[in-house]
Amino acid sequence: MQIFHYSGRTHVDSVPNAPAVQMNGLMVRYDKSQGDVLSNISLELAAGSRVALIGHNGAGKSTLLKTLVGLQAYQQGEVRIYGRPVRACHHRVAYLPQRGEIDWRFPIDLRAFVMTGRYVHMGWLRRASGEDVALVERTMAQLQLDHVATRLISDLSGGQQQRALLARAIVQEAQLLLLDEPYNNIDPETRLLIGDIVKSLQDEGRTTIIATHDLSRLHDEYEYVVALKHGRVQYCVPVAQFHLKKEEGADGTTLAMVD
């Protein structure tokens, strides 16, 4: 029922055989007086691929993800998501923000929080259906969150909050998942769990782009590596061609280089 949708732009068909993401000469700047945050980004990422987006803090990773989901306007270039313009279809793209973007002190329990991932399908006025509830329960169990389902989100540990964000992104049933630093400040167990789950999303044909500093399982978990440097694409290569040469960067993060 169209009238309930938050915008007219949901459940729009994708262009057959189109790549998940196609960017051509993308340029983003926040302010005319400042330099470009992203410049001349041209990329094509096939549907169903797992992509690591790496680079130093400030290289433009978050901005790139925000541009893809339509939170950040761009000044030049062209962006296509499954062959359609950005925000052409809200339910096709899920976005996992950095943890600090959410007010975790808000009085809502985990179950209700994860359910907000289904809102794009419900739209105005409608409540969760039995199927929505079942999907939320299943996803929480998959992420080992079922035992804290009634806990307030403020009482969750950092790793649990991160899994809660992932659960919410998953129940959105989007084709393209954009995850901004899902591995920051979490325990090693959660790190592995999230890695496995993200990997399993590919089996369902989904595309994932993960902005991360964590290069520990790069060859296991990804197919492509996109490296950004100063707002430009430094490399975009299949992970097999990518060899790590670890160096300590000036800001303490690990530099990754292609030989």
Partner 1 sequence: MAQLWQWLIEPFRYQFMQTGLLAAVLIAITAGIIGSYVVLRRLAFIGDALAHTALPGVVVAYLNGWSLFGGALAAGVLTALGIGWMARKSTIREDTAIGVIFTAMFAFGIVLMSSMQSFRDLSHILFGNILGVQRNELWLISAVAGVVILVLSVFHKEFELTSFDAIHAEVIGINADRLRSVLLVLLAFTIVTGIQVVGVILTSALLVTPAAAASLLTRNLKSMMAVAATIGAISAFMGLLISFHWGVSSGAVIVLLCTGFFALAVGVQRLQQRGHA
Summarize as ranges the residues that interact with partner 1 (CB under 8 A).
5-7, 9-10, 69-71, 87, 90-91, 93-95, 97, 101-104, 106-109, 112, 116, 119-120, 122, 124-125, 152, 168, 172
Q: How far is the CB of 165 from partner 1 (least distance, A)?
A: 9
Q: How far is the CB of 7 from partner 1 (least distance, A)?
A: 4
Q: Which is nearer to partner 1, 27 or 128 (CB)?
A: 128
What are the angstrom distances between the C-alpha of 238 and each of 179, 219, 223, 242?
19, 10, 6, 7
Q: Which is nearer to partner 1, 109 or 137 (CB)?
A: 109
Q: Which is nearer to partner 1, 166 or 255 (CB)?
A: 166
Q: What DSSP designation does 108 have?
A: -
Q: How far is the CB of 106 from partner 1 (least distance, A)?
A: 4
Q: Which is nearer to partner 1, 180 or 221 (CB)?
A: 180
Tally of residues, the chain: 259
Q: How far is the CB of 110 from partner 1 (least distance, A)?
A: 12
Q: Which is nearer to partner 1, 104 or 235 (CB)?
A: 104
Other Cβ atoms closer than 10 A to 125 = 8
Q: How far is the CB of 174 from partner 1 (least distance, A)?
A: 10
Q: Which is nearer to partner 1, 27 or 102 (CB)?
A: 102
Supply the DSSP string of the chain, one letter for each residue: -GGGSSSS-SSPPPPTT--SEEEEEEEE-S-TTS--SEEEEEEEE-TT-EEEEE--TTSSHHHHHHHHHTSS--SEEEEEETTEETTS-GGGEEEE--GGGS-TTSS-BHHHHHHGGGHHHH-TTPPPPHHHHHHHHHHHHHTT-GGGTTSBGGGS-HHHHHHHHHHHHHHTT-SEEEEESTTTT--HHHHHHHHHHHHHHHHTT-EEEEE-S--TTHHHH-SEEEEEETTEEEEEEEGGG-----EE-TTSPEE----
Q: Which is nearer to partner 1, 116 or 234 (CB)?
A: 116
Q: How far is the CB of 219 from partner 1 (least distance, A)?
A: 31
Q: How far is the CB of 38 from partner 1 (least distance, A)?
A: 19
